[in-house]
């Protein structure tokens, strides 16, 4: 449920506030509406993953909200809150397409269970409609994780190009999953029963790379004590993936161009050509057009490689996939380590959402693996992630916003000097007081603190009734 966007619609403030506390404690991002009309405005402005609405409200009631949702956001499950007098109507809205209903009074456990089930139902609906569904079914495992619009475009392109023999150029930063995409294309192609061979062109010096790709005959150079079959020949009938193709030398570029033009290769020291039937997929994290202008990459080779381009998005460009990726890696490493991990604490998920991930998905995977190993409980805490904060400037991880809860505030105080946190701590306390009409008891309850502890924090920060008047 971490990061799930939930809309709560109810004309009773106590119900709204109660659901807000319950769902935020589970890591959800919650919007509140006190009427159907307000809910309609929010549904038109942003996307939600679950809507919880009262059935009986003045003006626009829950049934009308449901009708609007089926038009505006048809894949969003709707949970109704009903009283005894509206139970028959609840059955009626279920027939109209509502996901489920809860009778008042309900418990915290009931609402958490319903929302979790609704999120699973929505994920199933999106999976069924996803262009990537066929890809994942055919591959038999979650090789590529993502349902964001950016990744759906990648899935569509994979499905379009896989049945063909067209050369593919995959571009994207290191750690975005270029080899995974290459393997997916091969797995969905008619060549799937033949070899998939991959080589990182940055790992070998020029002479060894050329030999590795095209092979050599015995005695063709010092150290060539026997004939070697290159990867082009080994992959015959299948797919050859050249990662970081921007690193190959001019001589190897010329040989690669000849293969793409004539589908033949000549081993080093050889005198005759060898016909090869492979699907070539190349990848790079550099801009080859810039390299062409600089004279370090052949323009005619770029045209031959770039028959079908696939651009992979960075993690920042697919933020909607973050909860899905986190869940995927948590399951994998919790199983490997043999721990029971239920998910991320709200503060930990908030931290991941603010982090820039210079290492992209590979860095996220490493962070989650380490957090699983270090976790002391069933929830990953912010300190388990070990995303370093070394200076006051690093408070920018919060992008200037106030800490979301006491857990996030505690984490900041652990990582940063007390004086650096004080402005945020003061803003945190003042905002809680403002939300609750400066009622200390309610404000303490709102942020999950005991009243004496909250009072102690106010005293330490020098906050008094004078601040309200100011």
Domain ranges of the chain: 5-129, 145-313, 316-387, 400-470
Q: Is the dihedral of CA 336, 339, 341, 347 positive or negative?
A: negative
Can you list the positions of beta strands (E) in 244-398?
264-265, 274-275, 279-284, 308-311, 343-344, 379-380
Report pLDDT for 418: 55
- Does 400-470 match 316-387 at the fold level? no
Q: What is the CATH number of domain 400-470?
A: 1.10.10
Fold category of 145-313 in CATH? Rossmann fold (3.40.50)
Instruction: Let me know if domain 5-129 sits in CATH 3.20.20.70.
Output: no
CA dihedral 410, 412, 415, 419 (to 10 degrees): -100
Please give the CATH topology (third level) of the domain spanning 316-387.
Helicase, Ruva Protein; domain 3 (1.10.8)
pLDDT of residue 60: 83
Containing 318, the helix (H) or strand (E) segment is none
pLDDT at 421: 58
Question: Which residues lie closer than 8 Å to 85 by C-beta, 6 or more apart?
Answer: none
The pLDDT profile of the chain, 470 residues, written as one tens digit per residue, is 778 899 999 998 999 999 999 999 888 999 999 998 888 888 888 889 999 999 888 888 888 888 888 777 878 899 988 875 555 666 677 777 788 888 888 888 889 988 988 887 787 666 555 545 555 554 433 457 777 788 888 888 898 899 999 999 999 887 788 998 999 999 989 999 999 999 999 877 777 888 889 988 887 777 776 888 889 999 999 999 999 999 999 999 999 999 999 999 988 888 788 899 999 999 999 999 999 999 999 999 999 999 999 999 888 788 778 888 888 889 889 989 898 888 887 677 777 877 777 667 878 888 899 999 999 888 888 888 877 443 343 444 444 455 656 655 665 555 554 555 566 677 778 888 888 888 888 888 777 677 777 887 888 788 876 666 55
pLDDT of residue 141: 35
Cα separation, 91 vs 324, whole angstroms? 32
Q: Give residue 20's pLDDT.
A: 93
- Whole-prediction pTM value? 0.55
* Token digits of residue 361: 């998905």
């Amino acid at each position: 449920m971490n990061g799930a966007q939930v809309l709560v619609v109810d004309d009773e403030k106590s119900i709204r506030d109660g659901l807000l506390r319950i769902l935020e404690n589970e890591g959800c991002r919650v919007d509140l509406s006190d009427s159907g009309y307000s809910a309609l405005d929010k549904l038109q402005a942003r996307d939600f993953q679950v809507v919880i609405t009262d059935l009986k409200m003045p003006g626009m009631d829950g049934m009308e909200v449901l009708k609007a949702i089926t038009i505006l956001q048809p894949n969003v499950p709707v949970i109704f809150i009903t009283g005894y007098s509206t139970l028959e109507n609840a059955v009626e809205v279920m027939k109209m397409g509502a996901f489920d209903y809860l009778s008042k009074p309900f418990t915290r456990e009931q609402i958490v269970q319903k929302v979790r089930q609704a999120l699973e139902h929505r994920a199933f609906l999106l999976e069924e409609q996803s262009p990537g569904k066929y890809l994942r079914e055919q591959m038999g495992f979650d090789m590529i994780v993502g349902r964001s619009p950016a990744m759906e475009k990648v899935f569509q392109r994979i499905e379009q190009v896989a049945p063909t023999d067209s050369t593919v150029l995959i571009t994207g930063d290191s750690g975005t999953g270029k080899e995974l995409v290459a393997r997916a294309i091969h797995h969905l192609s008619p060549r799937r029963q033949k070899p998939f061979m991959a080589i990182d062109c940055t790992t070998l010096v020029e002479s060894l790379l050329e030999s590795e790709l095209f092979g050599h005959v015995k005695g063709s150079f010092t150290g060539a004590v026997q004939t070697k079959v290159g990867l082009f020949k080994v992959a015959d009938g299948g797919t050859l993936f050249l990662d970081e193709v921007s690193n190959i030398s001019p001589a190897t570029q010329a040989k690669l161009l000849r293969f793409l033009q004539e589908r033949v290769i000549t081993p080093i020291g050889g005198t005759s050509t060898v016909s090869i039937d492979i699907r070539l997929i190349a990848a790079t994290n550099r801009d080859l057009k810039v390299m062409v202008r600089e004279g370090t990459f052949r323009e005619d080779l770029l045209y031959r490689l770039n028959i079908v381009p696939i651009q992979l998005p960075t993690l920042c460009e697919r933020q909607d996939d973050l909860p899905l990726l986190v869940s995927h890696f948590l399951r994998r490493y919790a199983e490997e380590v043999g721990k029971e991990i239920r998910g991320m604490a709200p503060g930990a998920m908030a931290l991941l959402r603010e982090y820039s991930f210079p290492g992209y998905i590979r860095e996220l995977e490493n962070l989650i693996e380490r957090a699983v190993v270090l976790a002391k409980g069933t929830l990953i805490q912010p300190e388990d992630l070990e995303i370093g904060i070394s200076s006051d400037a690093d408070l920018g991880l919060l992008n200037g916003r106030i800490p979301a809860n006491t857990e996030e505030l505690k984490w900041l105080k652990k990582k940063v000097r007390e004086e650096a946190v004080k402005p945020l701590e003061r803003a945190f306390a003042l905002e809680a007081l403002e939300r609750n009409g400066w009622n200390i008891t309610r404000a303490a309850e709102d942020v999950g603190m005991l009243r004496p502890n909250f009072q102690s924090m106010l005293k330490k920060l020098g906050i008094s009734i004078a601040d309200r008047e100011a």
